[in-house]
Amino acid sequence: MLRDPSLVPLSHQHQHALALCVFLHRAREAGAPDLAHWNQEIARAFEQDIHAHFEAEENILFPAARNVSALVPLVEELLAEHALLRDYAQRAASSELEADDLPAFAALLDDHIRKEERQLFEQMQEALPGETLAQLGAAIRDLLTARGAGAACALPLRKS
């Protein structure tokens, strides 16, 4: 299904987060990853984009999704995953992630994003009227702009 324009800013951020996952998988496959580098990259991604992304979802998107009874369990699952991902980010900010944490983080983030794209967004587009989606989109864009999220969309440096 073609993505509704109201959800495109979140989808663009998803693309950048998925790129981080790919880089993490490649770093792991290349051998012992530079843990200091990847702790910094994960912490930077959360600080610059993912924190505001989660804020937009939790304060704007998820409340609207909860109005669709079939989406309530999915929203609860996504919120639990946000908590796990925040824990990884806090550990990264303290340089506490170990080599085994990198693929686990990347797998969780990848699965989480795909669940939002393939389940939440698709079902919201089917269940909510266009006017409601447009209002949500405006609020999401305003919040992301106010937080400066996605302005740079910097990808991590390739480093193993």
Give the per-residue pLDDT at 154: 40
- Compute the distance between CA of residue 94 and CA of residue 109 in angstroms, rounded to an integer: 19
Give the per-residue pLDDT at 80: 98
- Compute the distance between CA of residue 25 and CA of residue 38 in angstroms, rounded to an integer: 11
- Compute the distance between CA of residue 7 and CA of residue 138 in angstroms, rounded to an integer: 10
- Compute the distance between CA of residue 17 and CA of residue 155 in angstroms, rounded to an integer: 9
- With a cut of 50, which residues of the chain have pLDDT below it? 151-160
Contact yes or no for 20/151 (Cβ under 8 A): no
- Compute the distance between CA of residue 39 and CA of residue 17 in angstroms, rounded to an integer: 15
pLDDT digits (tens, 9 = 90+) for 93-115: 999 999 999 999 999 999 999 99
CATH of 5-147 given 3.30.365, 3.30.70, 2.30.30, 1.20.120: 1.20.120
Give the per-residue pLDDT at 157: 43
Q: Residue 129: is it exposed, middle or buried by C-beta count within 10 angstroms (0-12/13-18/19+)? A: exposed
Name the E strands within 7-140: none
Report the predicted TM-score, pTM, of the whole model to 2 decimal places. Answer: 0.91
Give the per-residue pLDDT at 78: 98
- The residue ranges of every structural domain in the chain are 5-147
Give the per-residue pLDDT at 28: 85
Q: Is 97 left (phi over 0), alpha (psi -120 to 50) or beta?
A: beta
Greatest pairwise CA separation for the chain in angstroms: 50
Spatial CA neighbour of 91 closest among 35, 132, 27, 133: 35
